[in-house]
Structure 1
Amino acid sequence: MAGAWGRGLALRATRGGDLANLLPGLALAAGLAAVSYALRDLSGLAFVSPLVLGVFLGMAARAAVAMPAVARPGLKFAARPVLRFAIVLLGLQITFGKVAEVGIDGFAVAALALVLTFLFTLWLGAKLGVGRELTQLIAAGTSICGASAIVATNSVARGTDEDVAYAMACVTLFGSLAMFLYPLLPPLLGLDAHAYGLWTGASVHEVAQVVAAAFQGGQEAGEVGTITKLTRVMLLAPMLLALAWSARFAVATERRTGPPVPLFVVAFLLVIAANSLGLVPASVAAVGAVVTPFLLAMSLSAIGLESDVRRLSAMGLRPLALGAVATLFISGTALLLVAVL
């Protein structure tokens, strides 16, 4: 399946022009992704995702030097088709069996916290006057799985590169704060290891942040937190399908052709199903675990390189306030659900 998707990407590249035209931009994005990994490893900031570093390095490079025109075709290809292929490959790391390990109650905590936070953030964004596209991206990054959710949701929301960068800044800032604060709270809240792991996995933004926070509560808390987080990642697909159908219906009511349901989301679900049935060799899944985050870092580096910092600063502080309140909401909601369920 991944091979067929890759052939589709190659066909798109050849239709869009000579493949050689894509190489400068792809090489630039890949180079920034490699620097992101090196910076993460050399600085000892293991909890900082290379995806996040990639987008900010791209923005810094764009602000420092003019982007050569020869790189633009490859950057656009990295920011869109390559990104969608990477989202499909995320399915290689998820199985329905892993999700089942948290139990029905654990799944209910993750799913309810996700849906309630997403809807609350959409409502609050409208009240604050934040743009619809940026609101959807902040909602996805906060409620689902950070950077991966933001870039995947943007295929439906169709926000600007600056929208993506701003949403990334929100989940990075508030997810990092949660990662440092959460381990201090179990004694105050009376949480055992299982409950703490469930709360962390259901509410902290990035996978790396969940791992860093959850394992400070012990091995059991770390494992429960990681599995709960994977449950949220799996729920990215149905959420994207719901957004796509919602957008299609809204546009159809205005008698225009609406956006189709993204095929990469369907492919993502099919890969999860194949992996769950044992149809994916372990060696393929192992390669996917290495390739997928690098491709995502490439895509986000390309998005950063296409983002204008001046337009980003012009958005003001209201989206930042939206991200802060959304983070508090998912934290409080998940904690309440853990206590009840």
Structure 2
Amino acid sequence: MTSHGPRDGSLALDSSGRDGRQGRATASGGPDTGPGRRPGRTGRLRGLVPGLAVCAVAAALAIGISSLAPALSPLLVAIILGAVLVNVWRLPGSWQPGLAFSSRTLLRAGIALLGLQLLLSDILDLGWGVIATVVAVVCIGIVSTLVIGSMLGISPAQRLLIACGFSICGAAAVAAADGVAEAEEEETVTAVALVVLFGTLMIPVIPLLSAALGLGPVDSGVWAGASIHEVAQVVAAGSALGGTALGVAVVVKLARVLLLAPVIIGIGISMRRRATDTPDQTRPPLVPLFIIAFLACVGLRSVGVVPEVVLDVAKVAQTALLAAAMFGLGTGVRFATLRAVGPRPFVLAAIATVIVTGVALVGVQLL
């Protein structure tokens, strides 16, 4: 996760002992190598172990809770576990390297494996009307959120993360955008927290509104898949709508996920152009490596060369990696920080939710 620290320097060392500017352990308990000394490779790997072990336990716990309550996404449970833990207990500094690695590297690996869930033929079978609706949701959602966020005075990185998270695929899109945008740590965790909050609220709302509007199973499934933020949240809402709606909703949602790649590539190109205009600014990669891996996974799945047993294992691994990463991100969700950002990101998130939901409903009505 890209992190450039607080603008005023007041949060340089947060309550968990993490260096807010770099996300590294400090003298409060982490493996500080001291000035002029650099740890060897073995030492760096050893420093990751405590945090990675905690993330692994948290991921297993989140998956276990989700298996007992299928309506709860393991990603959602993992974020909540991390947020609760960091707000009730001072985390040891020795955990911080592993937590940072999980919320950055493991998350990107999970996003790459997400490509194995996408079968291009399934998406094309939706028909051009549904595909056009998905493209409209993503494009209008991102552009309108960026414009309204600017009017609200929200920072460019913050509004970009919210735009991607709410228009594409939730926390995974936030993290993917963070890989190429110059977002501060509190901006990223705020966007993730907003995705969790508003996406969870959508789980009962879409089925209730679908019934009130008299939508059939297919139309309600398209609406759910085109409007709800997280894949797991779509599954929860689709389950409430029935088996037919659930199948449609998941495929429509995966069509939105597929648009993650071109959006992130576009952001990367834009950021590189800005960096060229500012010589002292670091240029982000044109196409992040994890997006290349994501597209490769989509291609492998679509040509049918991946055995079913490998797909099953990859799905479990993807869930575990993303749950571990969400726990790491959750440990950055400090209530004091969320209060400090003020109401404007929450207002933007609410508006983005309404826009995405409205565009999706218009698309359904035009099908």
Shared fold (TM-score, shorter chain, > 0.5)? yes
Q: Is 1:278 aligned to residue 304 of structure 2?
A: yes
**Contact 1:175–1:206 at 8 Å: present in 2 too?**
yes
Q: What is the alpha-carbon distance in structure 1 between the residues aligned to residue 76 and residue 42 of structure 2?
A: 29
Note if contact 1:96-1:276 (Cα within 8 Å) is conserved in structure 2. yes
- Contact in 2 for aligned 1:215/1:223 (Cα 8 Å): no
Aligned to 1:139: 163
Supply the AA of the counterpart residue of 2:291: V
The alignment partner of 1:156 has SS state of coil
Amino acid in the other structure paired with 2:117:
Q
Kept after mapping to 1: 8 A contact 2:193/2:333: no
Q: After alignment, is 138-147 or 324-333 more displaced?
A: 138-147
State the Cα distance separating 1:277 from its structure 2 match: 0.7
Q: What amino acid is aligned across from residue 244 of structure 1 in structure 2? A: G
Does residue 1:123 correspond to 2:143, yes or no?
no
Larger relative helix fraction = 1
**Counterpart residue number, 1:60:** 84
User: Scaled by the length of structure 2, what TM-score is found?
Assistant: 0.83
Of 301, 320, 331, 2:346 maps to 320
Q: 2:283 aligns with which of 258, 266, 282?
A: 258
User: Separation in 1 of the partners of 2:40 and 2:136?
Assistant: 43
User: Any unmatched runs of 5+ in structure 1?
Assistant: 1-12
Question: In 2 relative to 1, CA 39–70 (structure 1 residues): closer, same or farther, beyond 3 Å?
Answer: same
Structure 2 SS opposite 1:80: helix
- Structure 2 spans left out of the alignment, 5+ residues: 1-38
Deviation at 1:176, TM superposition (A): 2.1
For 2:189 and 2:65, the matched residues in 1 are separated by 19
Candidates 188, 202, 226, aligned match of 1:178:
202
* Conserved? CA contact 1:30–1:298, under 8 Å: yes
8 Å CA contact 2:47, 2:94 repeated in 1: yes
Q: Contact 1:88–1:267 (CA<8 Å) still a contact in 2?
A: yes
1:287 lines up with 2:313 in the alignment = yes
**How high is the TM-score relative to the length of structure 1?**
0.89
Indicate how the Cα distance of structure 1 residues 73 and 339 shifts in structure 2: closer, same or farther if over 3 A, else same.
same
Deviations 1:60-115 (A, max 9, x none): 22222222222222222212122111111111111211211211111111111111
- Pairing 1:150-299 to 2, within 5 Å after superposition: 150-255=174-279, 256-260=281-285, 261-299=287-325
1:216 positional shift: 3.2
Give me the identity figure in percent.
39
CA RMSD of aligned residues (A): 2.0
Paired residues of 1:203 and 1:331 also in contact (CA < 8 A): yes
Question: Which residue does 1:8 correspond to in 2?
Answer: none
Give distance in 2, aligned partners of 1:292 and 1:223: 20
Q: Quote how far apart the aligned CAs of 1:214 are.
A: 2.5
Could you list the per-position Cα deviations for residues 291-318 of structure 1 after superposition, in whole angstroms to 9, with x for gaps in the alignment? 1011111112112224443222200111
User: Number of aligned pairs?
Assistant: 327
